Structure 1
């Protein structure tokens, strides 16, 4: 009887060892992938981004016009054709892929100046020569809305050069315009001129017309959400005009001063905040999870 128990116990131990050895031959299940880190993501699409820009522009004015001066045969003899402007803007965009994106922007431009001098040579009621000159000074500002498209030209060391173009509208305003001048009269014909000062003011005037832009620059990807930009832009703003001119001494009303062919060469510093997960500095290799090595035990 004792021998039977001994044989049964030995058989059970042998079967258990065999089961353990076979179990050691089964592959071990791979560990689950780690959870994705919490990141700021858009609810509509991962390509959405916000942008903000500030900059300075060298703004040029092509020419000035004033209807009463033109009808009388006068001309502009001096035109301040360059002025420095400052601007700031915000925008919303969408990045389709690593090569193409679009955005809409709205910006305010200020600090510009309109400055010009005209001259009108005439004969007075007594047949004597006279010269009337006027110097105009005022402020020029703009509100610009643009739809822009960009082509990104590849990324090297986190730097992405780009080219772009935009089209939209600009509302240009002339404010604070004054007209200071002098009327030179020779009543005797002996060149004993009498100088009469003139003064005029004008209310604000605005004009809305098409605007368009060409752009080039480079972006630097600080991290997967933030991109900084430095760029150049040529911006064509169209025309502007003041309100009607009013003579401060006589109350005579004349036509507004027209500011024609406004454009600007801009340097912009900007940022883009991406509501997605762009590849910063190029694509990253994803980790690969492999099954664990089989372990076989020998008894």
Structure 2
């Protein structure tokens, strides 16, 4: 009888172990621990921040000064230098082909210069003046872009912008030579200085470029922009030796061919270049009989 009890107990233990093993085989594995939280956007699917730096080849269509005009003079010998600029902005991407942004930029002082020639009736002779100063600008634009499709993470685009520019001429000097009582009269020199003058007006731009999506949050840009800045003017020109003043020097129709590089920090999810998201793995169910 004791042998039968021992055999029954052993059989029960073996059966219980088989059930436990089968249950362990049927139970799914625990999910893997969550991945660490990566830096990603949290504002919304379409918002982005941008920053740009670049260089502009600026030009001035013409110079104007009322006194030169009144005495039948003319300007010649324009000189302009390149301008360096940097800007920031915020935008919204509506879909894969249309986005808008608002930008603000500062264009550093670039040297400008021009000369004139006129007849001075008070000295009964010709006079020439050479003007030199610095031109700087602050520009705010509202821009719209059309993205033309993406190939291998490269997206060409075109765009246009409209806004306002505040142009400033500072440090202007007016160095002149007067040929009095020609042809036998003396030659004298003059010097004028002008205070800083500012003028605000309409600005507009046309753009084209190429964007490269580094990852879902960062896009790099290389672009060209034609920018029309409007007009600028100096302050009143004052003679350094006499109590005489002259009207401001005006720069008409300033424009620039800009070449810039920039970045967009995207707060959305689009990611053309990332590897497919990994699929959670679950071990297959194995049944043992």
Please, what TM-score do these two structures have when normalized by structure 2?
0.85
More displaced stretch, 50-59 vs 145-154: 145-154
Residue 75 (structure 2) pairs with residue 85 (structure 1): no
C-alpha contact (below 8 Å) 2:198/2:232 kept by paired residues: yes
Shift of 1:86: 0.7
User: Helix, strand or coil for the counterpart of 2:286?
Assistant: coil
CA distance in 2, matches of 1:253, 1:280: 63
Matched, 1:71 2:70: yes
* Pair 1:31–1:151, CA change in 2 (3 A): farther
**Between 283-292 and 260-269, the greater mean CA deviation after superposition:** 283-292
Q: Of residues 282, 286, 296 in structure 1, which corresponds to 2:277?
A: 286
Matched, 1:170 2:165: yes
Query: Is the alpha carbon distance of 1:4 and 1:174 closer, same or farther for their aligned partners in structure 2, counting shifts above 3 Å?
Result: same
Which residue does 1:258 correspond to in 2?
A: 250
| Structural mapping, 1:200-239, within 5 Å | 200-239=192-231
Distance 2:114 2:51 in 1: 34
Shift of 1:11: 9.5
Q: CA deviation at 1:15?
A: 8.1
Moved more, 155-164 or 243-252: 155-164
Q: 1:111–1:12: structure 2 CA closer, same or farther, 3 Å change rule?
A: same
1:148 aligns with one of 135, 143, 147 = 143
Shift of 1:104: 1.7
Cα gap change, 1:225 to 1:37, in 2 (>3 Å) = farther
In structure 1, what is the Cα distance between the partners aligned to 2:6 and 2:78? 119
Shift of 1:114: 2.3
Map of 1:186 onto structure 2: 181
For structure 2, list consecutive stretches of 5 or more residues without a partner in the other structure: none
Quick one: structure 1 residues 135 and 285, their matched pair in 2 at CA, closer, same or farther if it must change by over 3 Å?
Answer: same
Q: 1:158 pairs with 150, 153, 178, which one?
A: 153
The 10-residue stretch of structure 1 (219-228 or 251-260) with the greater mean CA deviation from structure 2: 219-228
- Whether the aligned pair in 2 keeps the contact of 1:30 and 1:289 (CA below 8 Å) is no
| 1:69 shift after superposition | 1.6
Q: Per the alignment, in what secondary structure is the counterpart of residue 68 of structure 1?
A: helix
- In the alignment, is the contact (CA less than 8 A) between 1:59 and 1:264 conserved in 2? yes
CA distance in 2, matches of 1:123, 1:24: 111
- Determine the C-alpha separation between the residues in 2 that align with 1:12 and 1:233: 85
Q: CA deviation at 1:122?
A: 4.9
Q: How many residues align?
A: 289
- Normalization by structure 1: what TM-score? 0.83
Q: Tell me if structure 2 keeps the 8 A contact 1:133–1:183.
A: yes
1:269 to 239, 257, 261: 261
Paired position in structure 2 for 1:295: 286
> 1:213 offset after TM fit, Å?
1.1
2-structure distance, mates of 1:107, 1:230: 17
- Shift in Å, 1:123: 4.7
Q: How far does residue 101 in structure 1 lie from its aligned partner after superposition? A: 2.3
Change (3 A) 1:100 1:284: farther
